[in-house]
Structure 1
Amino acid sequence: MTQTLEQLRTGKLIGIQRLKLACGLTDFPREIFDLAETLEILDLSGNALSSLPDDLPRLRKLRIIFCSDNQFTELPEVLGQCPQLSMVAFKANHIKTVSAKSIPANLRWLILTDNQIEELPAEIGNCRELQKLALAGNRLQDLPATMSACSRLELVRISANRLRELPEWLLSLPRLSWLAYAGNPFCEAREQLALAATPVASIDWDALQLQGKLGEGASGVIHRADHRHGMEVRPVAVKMFKGAVTSDGLPDSEMASWLAAGTHPNLIPIEGRVTAHPASATGLVMPLVDPEFRALAGPPSLDSCTRDIYAAGLSFEPAQILGISHGIASAARHLHDQGIMHGDLYAHNILHSGNGVALLGDFGAASLFAPESRAAQGLQRLEVRAFGYLLEELIVRCSLADRSQGLLEQLDDLKSACLNSDIAARPLFHQIEDMLFRLAQMRRQAETPVH
């Protein structure tokens, strides 16, 4: 909900915890300090601000600040003085400079996507609470090696930068589970090869008639649409990208990975690329998934940071858990065999039906790797941890029956193996898929009546 300056100035917002103003501001409204006793979340995105006041720490309860889509050229140093500040979002500004003084001590979540940053201060390695870091669409040539001390990092987005190599220390972070690095010089050749090796059909914008919105992710919005081809009209899904640089990276990088993935029964395929859009927007056309499929969960909240949000009271039968987990493990194994890391293996990117069938989609954070490279197994085991979180979320929502106790114990053991802080000890997806297949077989045999 967006509030107004008039509400702020007339005192009607006293006592609120969250303030959102988007009204062309060029200066920070001083009346915001009247909310200092309660304000925790301040959203000033979509204005024309270029600075914050030196006395910002007067907002002593401020935990989260959004200043995306403004005119900042440097990350304000005053942020580092805010005692409770844990989430900082300055996406799509003109930021070139990030000084050590601008980094809050309790930083948990930092979003600097789509700026002009060439380097980060070494002091960012002191952020021991840092869990989520979004840096796609900048000019970074490397990351500070001091960040190897950020042992709580779980999600990193460094796509569309100028990195000459993938920092080796990233693969030693014990909790890292979601990584996107496409669109950097060290992987551009592989992406271009994938685009050239798998030509995709061109689908003219005029042949598409968009209908209702089906969903929205970091990189784009998905609509139901009618595709007219000659006399035939059939329903499809169309993903239109939000811009040249998204939170995850570049549209072309996403398409390269999606095309390289090929076909698999638990992956949503691509049918074509949108061309001749009147505003030159980029889009992809996919088959329309049966409406019985729905998202397994919603994306993380501000408080959950990296963990998905499930519907209250949602539960799964053991057979559903086996079906979903085996299908996603099989899809992930297939991707890894093709040299693709999904990068966003999350419940909110999984569609499922009531009978345990699951489809993995949204390649916005996908990255290509050489299967024979030294980093390959480290990257694969990184994504295995993301699968471990998924398995954990399904297990805790199991509608447990006594006869399923043994199955749940085995699934819990598998989950623990996937989440192992000893990265080299985690299984690979071919082992995970095989184990889940055997568990499914054992369950079917146990339920088959003996005559």
Structure 2
Amino acid sequence: MHTLEQLQAGELAGATRVKLSCGLTEVPSAIFDLAETLEILDLSGNHLTCLPNAFTRLQHLRIAFFSDNDFTVFPEALGKLPRLEMIGFKACKISHIAEDAIPPTTRWLILTNNQIAELPASIGKCARMQKLMLAGNKLKSLTPELASCQNLELFRISANQITHLPDWLLALPRLSWLAMSGNPCNPPVPTATELSEIPWQDLVLEEQLGEGASGIITRAHWQNQANSTQQVAVKVFKGEVTSDGLPEDEMQACLRAGAHPNLVQVLGKITQHPAQKQGLVLGLIPAGYRNLGGSPSFESCTRDVYAEGTVFTLEEAISISAGIASAAAHLHARGISHGDLYAHNTLVDATGHPLFGDFGAATVYNQDNTALASALERLEVRAFGCLLEELLDHLTPQDMAQERAQNLLLLKQDCMQPEVQNRPDFATIVEQIASNS
């Protein structure tokens, strides 16, 4: 984090990155003195309502964040920046986007939690668009020009007012991570569950284990009905729209998912929370599990990143891919599209046993609509193909030369082929991996 005083005193001369959050109501003119070097600008958490015309001087700008500001209109100046690839306006008040305001160079656009009712037709010019995040707006339809965004891979449209899902969306050749819960086009599906209702007073909370966009996870002791004490993890939802969608949709998907050896276990639903918050009690993940990969970087955009030197054995790659494919087959058999099938949502132990979690982007869909069900599953199959590709990329050359690795490579190619309906379903994938073990 930088200070306004540093900027105005010239101490940031030559900087490629600047981050200012200090109650700004206008963009400081000293920013434009950095026009020859500035590539990343973060002005989130201020009170900005517009960008001055001088903003177009920032011709080297690649990444710009303006989240948690007071914009009501998407600034047209951004459309004149020739290198701008990543733009963030999460939790502003934007209701209007003019034609050509979104630069055609955009790869990653975050407009979560605004007031947008319509997208400009010019968004179809964004041929490089890979990641488009529109959850928590007022969209009633998707402009048909979006069909031209053939490189779109991750798409978040949950918690809008969309009444119809266009055919072209489910046919996009690279779409892999789709979240669309909380729309009229996908009405709630009743969830029958026999899970326990766990009173808040039966839980003794200990240290915080983690915090995500949708909630906080804490280690706890649960005094269960058998009058024995069990160590668990408690996830309490924040109740806010996240980049993926609504917390209540995440919770319903978790409950519907049920038990599977490769899913984080859901033990029950919290009741009687003192602040009336919703939450789940989860099985505590045993020691020794670690994240398979890291979340995408600015550069990788939609693909996970791995620590330098990461190597998987062929046996690990087969075990991980078999477990995740089995979990995904289980979910789709229950009408759940996970929406975020990624290495960073997968935990593995030393034996290569995977545990899959984080249902923040999940969509519970109507399985009676067989065309929709088939398309949603095969979109997710491409995400599995991406994961399989990453595992194969981290094998040793000796392992990669083995016949079983080459069989996985052929399976990966089948999963990632551009014709959505030509991809295998997860049940077929499970069989193919088993026959290759």
Question: What is the TM-score when the length of structure 1 is the normalising length?
Answer: 0.92
Q: What fraction of aligned residue pairs are identical, expressed as a percent?
A: 52
The 2-side partners of 1:229 and 1:71 are apart by 47
The 1-side partners of 2:423 and 2:248 are apart by 32
- In structure 2, the partner of 1:257 is 253
Match status 1:92 vs 2:91? yes
Q: Deviations over 1:342-398 (max 9, x none)?
A: 100000001111101111100110102222322221111110000000000001111
Question: What is the TM-score when the length of structure 2 is the normalising length?
Answer: 0.95
Return the offset for 1:436: 0.5
Taking a change above 3 Å as real, the CA distance of residues 84 and 247 of structure 1, as seen in their structure-2 partners, is same
Consecutive unaligned residues in structure 1, runs of 5 or more? 441-451
* Kept after mapping to 2: 8 A contact 1:4/1:21: yes
Match status 1:421 vs 2:380? no
Taking a change above 3 Å as real, the CA distance of residues 325 and 102 of structure 1, as seen in their structure-2 partners, is same
Return the offset for 1:86: 1.1
Return the offset for 1:403: 9.3
- In structure 2, the partner of 1:339 is 335
Taking a change above 3 Å as real, the CA distance of residues 215 and 12 of structure 1, as seen in their structure-2 partners, is same
Q: Which moved more, 1:278-287 or 1:146-155?
A: 278-287
Q: Deviations over 1:278-330 (max 9, x none)?
A: 55443322111002111101110111100001111111111111110000000
The 2-side partners of 1:33 and 1:160 are apart by 37
* Kept after mapping to 2: 8 A contact 1:16/1:39: yes
Give the match's secondary structure for 1:115. coil
- In structure 1, the partner of 2:427 is 430
Give the match's secondary structure for 1:376. helix
| Partner residue of 1:365 out of 354, 361, 370 | 361
- In structure 2, the partner of 1:398 is 395
Q: Which moved more, 1:368-377 or 1:51-60?
A: 368-377
- In structure 2, the partner of 1:410 is 407
| Partner residue of 2:319 out of 311, 323, 326 | 323
Match status 1:308 vs 2:304? yes
The 1-side partners of 2:199 and 2:43 are apart by 38
* Kept after mapping to 1: 8 A contact 2:152/2:174: yes
Consecutive unaligned residues in structure 2, runs of 5 or more? none
Taking a change above 3 Å as real, the CA distance of residues 46 and 207 of structure 1, as seen in their structure-2 partners, is farther
* Kept after mapping to 2: 8 A contact 1:57/1:83: no
- In structure 1, the partner of 2:112 is 113
* Kept after mapping to 2: 8 A contact 1:187/1:369: yes
Return the offset for 1:404: 6.0
Q: How does 1:59-138 map to 2 (within 5 A)?
A: 59-138=58-137
Q: Which moved more, 1:265-274 or 1:16-25?
A: 265-274
The amino acid across from 1:388 in the alignment is G
* Kept after mapping to 1: 8 A contact 2:100/2:123: no
- In structure 2, the partner of 1:227 is 222
Taking a change above 3 Å as real, the CA distance of residues 223 and 382 of structure 1, as seen in their structure-2 partners, is same
- In structure 1, the partner of 2:286 is 290
- In structure 2, the partner of 1:182 is 181
- In structure 2, the partner of 1:375 is 372
Q: Deviations over 1:142-186 (max 9, x none)?
A: 000111110000000000000112222111100000000001112
- In structure 2, the partner of 1:447 is none
* Kept after mapping to 1: 8 A contact 2:400/2:406: no
